Amino acid sequence: MTANSASSIELPTLTPAVLHACSFPTWYRSFPQHTFRSTVITLDQAHIDYLRDTRHGLHLPEELAPATSQLSDSEDGAETADTSSAKSSSSSSSSSRTSSPPPRRYSFPELTRKIAETIEMYGGSVFPKLNWSAPQDAGFLLVSGDGPLRCRAPADVYMLLKGSDCIFHDLDVHAKLPPASPGAAFPVVLVLREWFNLNPAHEFRCFVRARKLMAISARSSTYYDFLLPDEVRQSIVTRIGSFFDSVISPQFDLSDFIFDVYLKNPTTTVPLAATKPNLKLVDINPFAAYIDPCLFSYEELEQSYSAISAESDQKLHVAPLLRVVESEHPHQHCRASKFQASKLPAEFVNYSQNQDVNRLSDEFSTMLQAERR
């Protein structure tokens, strides 16, 4: 069972208060020393309109667009203001060009300047996201081969955001709430995080119910043999549990949520008293069906919660359940979401099977190279 089939399980109610608590600017204020350095930029309505504008494909703001457009012929014609050329074209071509309105022109020199300054401040690279979601599905658009979301220039940031479907979860966040939920305003923000080349084997997703850390899953569905020894697994549980008890629980008010951490060295087995947990908080999410449960299913998580609740009533201490991929055999990967390995939504995986993806990637690689020259 995947996150998408969790509708039959009674999960915690998603409310505006929960979304607000899990919005990046909210939780970052409580844990700045325990996560990666980040800059939050509030987006205005014009920026949001630009992100929502999908009528004319992917296009950069005017201040970043290369002198020679790499868009398709029809889009390039619509961008130009050469009326004499339009008059000399054939009637059929003219008809097709006037069947849709010309692309709206966007220019954000102030936002572009802030992005450039932030990139420079963080040593030349950032990782972008909005309040809740990162453009994980658009990483293929970048020409860099050393990290799918590594942005070295403002054009990289714009391109990832424009090429992403994931960010529409944030732009349309009210659609996630129950119909009877009261209205709430969620200012849309652009978050630029200091870039680090993270090892996916060190990333873990942690599940909290009724303020109890009940389960921990490796975020990757890849087999890593160094995570299998009992002493390593116990150390991972102990380190994350200590971080939750001493840092997250005292400062985060929600009863039910999901958080991601990065262990700098998951194989460290030094006794906890002799070292710090040595990990970073990566993100906090609602305990909701649209969040990938990684190697668990929500049905399993709810069963675990029921068992832990029963044993807690008897004053018994129950350690969180840790799950990692334990074999290279394919059946060990069956619990992973179909899209978990690539971190892509279903819509993008379907779309990526179309050859147009390669064309888009080539076009925008050319655009970025022209912009950087």
pLDDT, the chain, mean:
80
Amino acid, res. 38:
S
Give the residue-averaged pLDDT of 265-291. 82
Give the residue-averaged pLDDT of 90-100. 50
Give the residue-averaged pLDDT of 189-209. 96
Q: What is the pLDDT of residues 293-310, one digit of tens each?
A: 999 999 999 988 887 777
Asked if pLDDT for residue 129 goes beyond 60, the answer is yes
Asked if pLDDT for residue 333 goes beyond 80, the answer is no
Asked if pLDDT for residue 4 goes beyond 80, the answer is no
Domain range annotation of the chain: 3-14+199-333, 37-55+106-195+346-372
Asked if pLDDT for residue 69 goes beyond 50, the answer is no
Contact indicator for 184, 157 with CB cutoff of 8 Å: no
Asked if pLDDT for residue 10 goes beyond 70, the answer is yes
Instruction: Give the range with max mean pLDDT: 67-71, 117-121, 273-277.
Output: 117-121
| Residue 203: predicted pLDDT | 98
| Residue 328: predicted pLDDT | 85
pLDDT above 90 covers what percent of the chain? 55
Asked if pLDDT for residue 244 goes beyond 90, the answer is yes
Confidence label for 14 from pLDDT (cuts 50, 70 and 90): very high
Confidence label for 324 from pLDDT (cuts 50, 70 and 90): very high
| Residue 13: predicted pLDDT | 92
| Residue 345: predicted pLDDT | 41
| Residue 74: predicted pLDDT | 36
| Residue 83: predicted pLDDT | 38
Confidence label for 73 from pLDDT (cuts 50, 70 and 90): very low
Between 69-78, 165-174, 198-207, the lowest mean confidence (pLDDT) is in 69-78
Give the residue-averaged pLDDT of 201-211. 97
Asked if pLDDT for residue 89 goes beyond 80, the answer is no
Q: What is the pLDDT of residues 99-113, one digit of tens each?
A: 566 778 899 999 999
| Residue 173: predicted pLDDT | 86
| Residue 159: predicted pLDDT | 93
Higher pLDDT, 91 or 148: 148
β-pair type (212-218, 203-209)? antiparallel
| Residue 364: predicted pLDDT | 53
Asked if pLDDT for residue 359 goes beyond 90, the answer is no
Confidence label for 8 from pLDDT (cuts 50, 70 and 90): low
Higher pLDDT, 306 or 231: 231
Confidence label for 175 from pLDDT (cuts 50, 70 and 90): confident
